[in-house]
């Protein structure tokens, strides 16, 4: 499941990887993340997202903070990177590189039959799509646009492959849930 927030014109972050446009949006009525996500057994993200989380949440400076954050917790988290990156003390962070298809068995085993939450970014979501491993997209669309930045899903995927299952309103967000069909 690829679950993320996006600008109205399809960006996850601006050119400086800032989410200021997102945090400025009124989100009253947004259910608990756990309610929306369901039963997640493992998280997956790319290194830009990981480094953003480390930096913004100051996770390297605060041992134990990773586990306290609702959107991270004690689930195994897989980070795709070709580099050697730091890992916060005590966090179950596992680094992967190379084709997504080759990593799928390890991710599925860690999730233990539960869902896998792909946090981003968009190209990594595209790699999961190409590997046939993207089954659901949930996107919260913010009332904001950007001139450029990190794209939501830079692949050509047609309406034959996406089925709108649910459209909800959370404050100023339009929250759309799509099934990915093959
Ligand atoms: N709006 C939201 O809710 C939301 C959600 C998620 C993320 N974000 C933000 O959106 C931006 C996303 O950044 P991004 O598009 O650059 O994506 P990203 O997926 O976070 O990071 C991309 C990087 O991951 C590594 N990578 C990707 N696939 C790989 C593979 N198969 N093997 C090895 N390494 C691989 C590469 O870096 P290296 O090999 O150099 O490490 C690549 O440059 C970030 O600013 C993030 O904070 C926003």
pLDDT in tens, 161-175: 999 999 999 999 999
Alpha helices in the chain (DSSP H): 20-23, 33-37, 47-56, 65-68, 100-111, 122-130
R_g (Cα) of the chain, nearest Å = 16
Q: Is the CB of 80 under 6 A from ligand 1?
A: yes
* Domain count across the chain: 1
Maximum Cα–Cα distance across the chain = 46
Whether 119 is in the pocket of ligand 1, judged by its Cβ within 6 Å, is yes
Look up residue 20 and give its two tokens: 């200021």
Residue 78 to residue 110: CA distance in whole angstroms = 10
CATH number of the structural domain spanning residue 26: 3.40.430.10
Going by CA atoms, what residue is nearest to atom 48 of ligand 1? 12
pLDDT tens, position by position, for the chain (182 residues)?
999 999 999 999 999 999 999 999 988 878 888 788 889 999 999 999 999 999 999 999 998 999 999 889 999 999 999 999 999 999 999 999 999 999 999 999 999 999 999 999 999 999 999 999 999 999 999 999 999 999 999 999 999 999 999 999 999 999 999 999 98
Helix (H, G, I), strand (E, B) or coil at 126: helix
Regarding the beta carbon of 140 and ligand 1, being less than 6 Å apart is answered no
pLDDT per position as a tens digit, 41-74: 999 999 999 999 999 999 999 989 999 998 899 9
Nearest residue (by CA) to ligand 1, atom 14, is: 121
77 in ligand 1 pocket by Cβ < 6 Å? no
Domain extent at residue 78: 2-180
Encoded tokens for 37: 């996500």
| Element holding 7 (H helix, E strand) | strand 2-7
Question: Of the candidates 117, 86, 80, 83, which has an alpha carbon nearest to the alpha carbon of residue 101?
Answer: 80
Coil vs helix vs strand at 128:
helix
Ligand 1 contact, 98 CB (< 6 A)? yes
- Count other C-beta atoms under 10 Å from residue 88's C-beta: 20
* 138 Cβ inside 6 Å of ligand 1: no
The residue whose CA is least distant from atom 29 of ligand 1 is 80
pLDDT value of residue 36: 80
């Amino acid at each position: 499941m690829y679950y993320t927030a996006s600008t109205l014109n399809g960006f996850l972050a601006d050119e400086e990887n800032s989410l200021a446009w997102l945090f400025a949006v009124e989100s009253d009525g947004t259910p608990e993340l756990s309610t929306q996500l369901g039963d997640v057994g493992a998280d997956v993200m790319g290194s830009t997202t990981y480094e953003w989380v480390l930096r913004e949440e100051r996770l390297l400076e605060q041992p134990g903070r990773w586990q306290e954050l609702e959107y991270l917790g004690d689930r195994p988290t897989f980070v795709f990177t070709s580099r050697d990156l730091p890992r916060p003390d005590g966090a179950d962070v596992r680094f992967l590189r190379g084709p997504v298809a080759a990593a799928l068995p390890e991710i599925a085993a860690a999730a233990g039959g539960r869902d896998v939450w792909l946090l981003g970014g968009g190209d990594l979501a595209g790699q999961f799509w190409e590997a046939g491993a993207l089954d659901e997209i949930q996107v919260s669309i913010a009332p904001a646009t950007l001139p450029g930045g990190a794209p939501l899903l830079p692949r050509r995927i047609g309406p034959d492959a996406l089925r709108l299952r649910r459209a909800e309103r959370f404050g100023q967000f339009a929250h759309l849930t799509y099934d990915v069909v093959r």
